[in-house]
Amino acid sequence: FPDSDFSQYDVLVAPMMYMVKPGLAEKVEAFTAKGGTFVCTYFSGIVDETDLAFENGYPGPFSRVLGIHVEEIDALYEGQTNTIVMSDGSGSYSCRHLADLLHLESAEAIATYGSDFYQGMPALTRHAYGEGCAYYVASDPDDACLDRLYGDIMRSHGIAPVLEAPSGVEIAVRYQGDQAITFVLNHHSQPATVDLDGSDYHDLLTGQTVSGALSLDGYGVGILITH
């Protein structure tokens, strides 16, 4: 990962990046400064590659690009939740497991905690860094919160899904030369239908032409090429 070429990406997501190797934070800073978006979460930047804790606290070497520092981590009991309240009043979401108690350096809070002794402390932050932006997710939000956050980030970069997928359905595209191959995987036990957005495809598994929509059985798979 530290040796990877980040220049081909618009967005980097590093959830729970507990261990940070030398040079990685500097590469992330350079990527963000050039217009990229970096997303990091709680339980990141804790130790170096020898598992020694960073002396200046969390999130370690990511503190500068994120514009925050974490004072403490609250561990929630199984079944216990808090809330994440959007600062613009546009909604609230549940969160669980861990909750960072963080302070803003140069970042801004886009959401805060809704309860407990740290009510009002930042739960989601955004930091303008050079030409780009870095986000920090201080707890484990529900799916609706993550859908909103990542949806907003992707739209800001003009990134759109190949097809709209219902919950539990994964869609991925790989290329063989110039030929796009679309993999559709239903991770649920229940049947699912995927809207093909008016396009016709050839399903390599069944040998049939699929038009309008693809119906999948529970745990079903489709491998599609344009017809």
pLDDT in tens, 83-141: 999 999 999 999 999 999 999 999 999 999 999 999 999 999 999 999 999 999 999 99
Which CATH number does 6-156 carry? 3.40.50.880
Superfamily of structural domain 169-226: Golgi alpha-mannosidase II (2.60.40.1180)
With beta carbons less than 8 A apart as the criterion, state whether 152 and 172 touch: no
pTM: 0.88
Take residue 108 and report the two structure tokens written for it.
């801004």
Could you tell me where the DSSP H helices lie in the chain?
Answer: 24-33, 63-66, 143-156
pLDDT at position 1, please? 67
- Please tell me whether the peptide bond between 191 and the residue prior to it is cis, using omega within 30 degrees of 0: no
Domain boundaries along the sequence of the chain? 6-156, 169-226
Which of helix, strand or coil describes residue 93?
strand
pLDDT in tens, 11-22: 999 999 999 999
pLDDT at position 167, please? 87
DSSP annotation of 4: S
CA 210, chain centre distance (Å): 31
Instruction: Give percent of the chain above pLDDT 90.
Output: 92
Average pLDDT, the chain: 96
pLDDT at 2 over 80: no
Q: Please state the rounded mean pLDDT for residues 163-187.
A: 94
Q: How far is CA 193 from CA 27, 129, 162, in A?
A: 41, 41, 15
